[in-house]
Each structure stands twice: as structure tokens, then as C-alpha cells.
Amino acid sequence: MTFLLVALCGGLGAATRFVVDELFRGRWAHEFPVATVAINVSGSGLLGLLTGASLYLDLPSGWLLVAGTGFCGGYTTFSTATVETVRLAQAGEYGLAAANAFGALALALGAVAAGIAVVWLLA
Amino acid sequence: MSPRPHLRPGLVALVAAGGAVGTSARYGLALALPHDGGWPVATFVANLFGAFLLGALLEALLRRGAESVGGRRARLGLGTGVLGGFTTFSSLALETDRLVAGGAAVTGVTYALATVVGGVLTCLAGVALAGARHRRRGGGGAR
């Protein structure tokens, strides 16, 4: 049952990422892949909130698994982010490639820590 | 003008189905390689392998020239769906945060940097493999 719910929420997360990415695509013309960065940072922030709720608010572990591993895992993506880094580098945009690779990581780390901290402060 | 892809329920459903498959595979890998608090092996393997496969898939599709209906379905279903769901950025960030917060800062930072740099390398390997395969078959095409 848990496996099925994780899979369903993963599918929901991937569909959400697809729609968010398309919405960004219509409004952002620059070659820097801001949509994927926004998706990965917001998904990491949400996973931070869920982890905080599991640590400090006794959120049942099944919820963390389904919403965290399922939804947040399906919503965020490492493979697309990496392909976008490689494409920036192939286009000679090494600064943007490095910013995309390491900047997104730093922002995602900040988001996950902030998510956990917010729940800790409220709990 | 054709409607934007996100407005087409069929394509959204294709991405969702692919995402469910990819997420199941990642969860299965996590069950097979449980995280004992050290190096997060399952996420590491999923992210590096997924970056390799997406690099190969997108390069192979790109070399076929202008995108066909089948090509778009493969890109969205297998790429955006399966491989997007198989790999994860949020778990990478959370595992790094937990390692650093738990006192294993060196392991955490090494894990995060090895994932990002290793992902670029496996992705490039996938791109190169798809390119070599295309040339062996004597294909012309876009690039």
C-alpha cells in the first residue's frame, strides 16, 4: 500500500514539475534554466518542512515517506538539472554552468535547512 | 498555434505515469540499499545513473533531427517522467543537511559535491555514448 502511494505521489510530483516548467517557459526567455532551479529549491524547502514536522511534530513516518520520497522526489529532479548544466557548458557558458550546478545546490541546502528551522521554531 | 504541452491532459498524464515508474524504481533502490547514516548510496546511484541515462536519451533524440510525435512522447514520458522521477534533488539536499547537522560535515560536503560533479561526468558519458552509437549507424541528422 505504501509503495503504491509513494508511486502515485511521485507521478503527481512529476506532473506538477512538468506544468510549472511549462509555465516558466512561457515567461522566461533567458538561457539560464530558472524553472528547474525554482522547482528544485521549492521542493527541497517542502521536504525540509516535512522533515521538521517528522522531527518536532511527530508527523507519522508513512506521511514523510509518501509526501517526501514520493511527491518531493518526483517533483524535484537531478537529471534535468545536470543536463542543463552540461548544455550551458557545451554552449561555452561556463560561468552559468557552474552557477547552475553549485548555485542550485547551495540554494536547495538553504531551503531544506530553512524548512526544518521554521518547524523547529513553531513547534 | 498548437496549445502549449502543459495544456494537453494526455501529455501531463504521460509524464505522471513515467514519474510514478521512476519514483517506484528510486524507492525500490532505497529499500534495497538502506541509508545507515553514512554515505547515501541509493540516492547517489539513482542520481548518477539517471543523469547518464537522460544525457544519452536526449542526445539520441536530438540527433534524430526535428522532433516527431513519438520523439516528444519519449522525451516527456521517459525523460521528464521516468528519469525526472527516478532522480531527486530534494533528497540530495536533505541527506547533505542531515549529515552536516549530525556532525559528519566532511562526508556531507563530499557527498554533495561528488553528486554534482559525478552527475556532470556520467551525463557527458551518456551524451558521448549516444553520439558514438549514432555515428556507428552512419546517421546524419542535426549535429
Q: Are A83 and B58 in contact (CB under 8 A)?
A: yes
The distance from CA A115 to its chain's CA centroid, rounded to whole angstroms, is 12
CA distance A11 to A41: 19
Give Cβ neighbours of residue B131 (< 8 Å, ≥ 6 apart).
B59, B63, B143
CA angle A30, A25, B20 (to 5 degrees): 130
Residue B3 — pLDDT band, cuts 50, 70, 90? low
Query: pTM for this structure?
Result: 0.94
pLDDT digits (tens, 9 = 90+) for B25-66: 999 999 999 888 899 999 999 999 999 999 999 999 999 999
Is residue A101 predicted with pLDDT exceeding 50? yes
Give Cβ neighbours of residue B72 (< 8 Å, ≥ 6 apart).
B5, B11
Give the CA radius of gyration of chain B: 17
Cα of B125 to nearest chain A Cα, Å: 11
Which residue in A54, A82, A86 has the most chain B C-beta atoms within 10 A of its own C-beta, making it the best mutation to test that interface? Answer: A82
Contact assignment for A73 to B90 by CB distance below 8 Å: yes
The predicted model gives B92-96 an average pLDDT of 98
Q: For a pLDDT cut of 90, what percent of chain A falls above it?
A: 89
pLDDT digits (tens, 9 = 90+) for A31-46: 899 999 999 999 999 9
What confidence score (pLDDT) does residue A68 get? 97
What confidence score (pLDDT) does residue A103 get? 97
What confidence score (pLDDT) does residue B7 get? 65
Contact assignment for A12 to B124 by CB distance below 8 Å: no
Contact assignment for A77 to B55 by CB distance below 8 Å: no
Which range among A75-79, B8-12, B39-43, B50-54 shows the weakest confidence by mean pLDDT?
A: B8-12
Residue B1 — pLDDT band, cuts 50, 70, 90? very low
Is residue A26 predicted with pLDDT exceeding 80? no
Specify the residue for cell string 538561457: A31
Phi-psi region of B139 (alpha: psi -120 to 50; beta: other; left: phi over 0): beta
CA distance B59 to B72: 13
Cα of B139 to nearest chain A Cα, Å: 21
Q: What are the grid coordinates assigned to B56, written together?
A: 544519452
Is residue B140 predicted with pLDDT exceeding 60? no
Q: For a pLDDT cut of 70, what percent of chain B falls above it?
A: 92
pLDDT digits (tens, 9 = 90+) for B100-115: 999 999 999 999 999 9
- Is A76 labelled a binding residue? yes
Cα of B33 to nearest chain A Cα, Å: 15
The chain B residue lying nearest A88, using CA atoms, is B120
pLDDT digits (tens, 9 = 90+) for A55-65: 999 999 999 99
Contact assignment for A10 to B88 by CB distance below 8 Å: no
Of A49, A100, A47, A50, which Cα lies nearest the Cα of A74? A47
Q: Which residues of A touch B90 (CB under 8 A)?
A: 40, 43-44, 46-47, 68, 72-73, 75-76, 108, 112
Q: Are B128 and B57 in contact (CB under 8 A)?
A: no
Contact assignment for A17 to B50 by CB distance below 8 Å: no
Contact assignment for B15 to A80 by CB distance below 8 Å: no
CA distance A47 to A71: 9
Cα of B138 to nearest chain A Cα, Å: 23
The chain B residue lying nearest A21, using CA atoms, is B6
- Is A115 labelled a binding residue? no
| DSSP 8-state secondary structure symbol assigned to residue B3 | P
Q: What is the ipTM of this complex?
A: 0.96
